[in-house]
Amino acid sequence: LNRIKASGLKLRFCTNETQATREKFVKKLQGMGFDISMAEVTAPAPAACRILKERSLRPHLLVHNDLVPEFAEIDKANPNCVVIGDAAENFTYANLNEAFRVLIGMEKPVLISLGRGRYYKETDGLKLDVGAYMKALEYACDVQAEVVGKPAKMFFESALAEMGVPPQQAIMIGDDIVNDVGGAQRCGMRALQVRTGKYRPCDENHPHVKPDAYVNNLAEAVDIILQQL
Amino acid sequence: LNRIKASGLKLRFCTNETQATREKFVKKLQGMGFDISMAEVTAPAPAACRILKERSLRPHLLVHNDLVPEFAEIDKANPNCVVIGDAAENFTYANLNEAFRVLIGMEKPVLISLGRGRYYKETDGLKLDVGAYMKALEYACDVQAEVVGKPAKMFFESALAEMGVPPQQAIMIGDDIVNDVGGAQRCGMRALQVRTGKYRPCDENHPHVKPDAYVNNLAEAVDIILQQL
């Protein structure tokens, strides 16, 4: 990261993290030694807040407790949409029924989902991600959720807009073949897949997505990018 | 019902009830004055048990506590499939993750769903039905559930087989345009929709399903059927 920043290239961190505010997320990365500030992070909750404001939407929130502060400035009285994130322990039977009732009670239900992940791994095992609960509400209410976060095109576009960089001049580096690589490419960017983190060898046979290149780690990605300057 | 039985016509009750055993279900109807016995009821759980036995499947159950006795004789050790019903309060975050882990851990995940209902109404409000949770697991594991219960063709066929009646000679009477009327018709039966219970006037403009006739109540359905004898 330091080498990228020193080169003068513009940099943006795109995360689907919805279990914590950007502030917590940045502090965690800073604690690991990364030079990163909140202004450099594109995350689903702030992107959703922009949409809510633009469209005068008042959300009923089904999100993680730690994410609630991101919506502090949003009017939530008399809701006319539902925003769902990875609510984890908040995905109770009562809370799901409550979100469903709000949604089905609308003349034209609006469901905004912070990501469409299927599942993820934690130290105590695999967990269903927001995408699964999104599908449950979609089916029950016969609606299609609007997804905010990777791989949504709009999400990458807002990151590009914030940097003032056209997609052709941007490169995505990520470990997720669909959400990072596929999403960025559909937006007109090039994308490198790192062979770390979520990467699995079978990703290299993915039926639809092919990265512009593979790299063994982030340092190698930086090498390649700086060589092209 | 008494008039149907007196006429000598064969009769079968097809229910998607999965919150209680057939025994409880029958006792409830008997308490309301209906002449009905367990042997006359076709319900998803016993139908699922037949499938489990035929295919040597050992289920992990995500069902209502009151339904568990229906699976008493089924081997549940070392599960090689998941059976999901309307588990109601048992649809906890922990139980959903557990069912998901069992399913995703299989080489070829098998998910059997006792119905595909979207939601239903109780005295304290609308509740998400089994279909919503089925969709969540389907999406997370990239599988298609096998649905047991109305409107599945196999479910109606097993009811017909139990009576020994070909579909052309059978009539379904139901209040649900899709699950009762549509399901029975796809199986080759004729179907009457009663304008009681779940019936809503907009059902009469349903884009895909058209009953063979409407009746105002069960008694009127019996009148029509007995007149044709």
In chain B the domains, ranked by start, together with CATH numbers, are: 1-9+163-228 (3.40.50.1000), 44-147 (3.40.50.1000)
Q: Rg of the Cα trace of chain A?
A: 18
Token match 């994308």: residue? Answer: A191
Q: Do residues A129 and A86 touch, judged by C-beta distance below 8 A?
A: yes
Q: Do residues B147 and B13 touch, judged by C-beta distance below 8 A?
A: no
The C-alpha atoms of residue B220 and residue B60 are separated, in whole angstroms, by: 43
Cα dihedral B100, B104, B107, B111 sign: positive
Q: Do residues A51 and A112 touch, judged by C-beta distance below 8 A?
A: yes
User: Does the model's pTM come out above 0.90?
Assistant: no
Residue A119 has its nearest CB partner, among B88, B138, B140, at: B140
Global ipTM: 0.86
Percent above pLDDT 90 for chain B? 88
Residues of B in contact with A133 (CB under 8 A): 136
Check CB contact of A86 with chain B, cutoff 8 Å.
no
Q: Are A96 and B91 an interchain contact pair (Cβ–Cβ within 8 Å)? A: yes
pLDDT for the residue B198: 83
Residues of A in contact with B64 (CB under 8 A): none
Q: How many CB atoms lie within 10 A of CB A124?
A: 7
pLDDT in tens, chain B (229 residues): 899 999 999 999 999 988 889 999 999 999 999 999 999 999 999 999 999 999 999 999 999 999 999 999 999 999 999 999 999 999 999 999 999 999 999 999 999 999 999 998 888 889 999 999 999 999 999 999 999 999 999 899 989 998 999 999 999 999 999 999 999 999 999 999 999 988 989 999 999 999 999 999 999 999 999 998 8
pLDDT in tens, chain A (229 residues): 899 999 999 999 999 988 889 999 999 999 999 999 999 999 999 999 999 999 999 999 999 999 999 999 999 999 999 999 999 999 999 999 999 999 999 999 999 999 998 998 888 889 999 999 999 999 999 999 999 999 999 899 989 998 999 999 999 999 999 999 999 999 999 999 999 988 989 999 999 999 999 999 999 999 999 998 8
Q: How many helices (H) and strands (E) does chain A have?
A: 8, 11
Q: Are A140 and B128 an interchain contact pair (Cβ–Cβ within 8 Å)? A: yes
Q: Residue A11, SS3?
A: coil
Q: Are B89 and A88 an interchain contact pair (Cβ–Cβ within 8 Å)? A: no
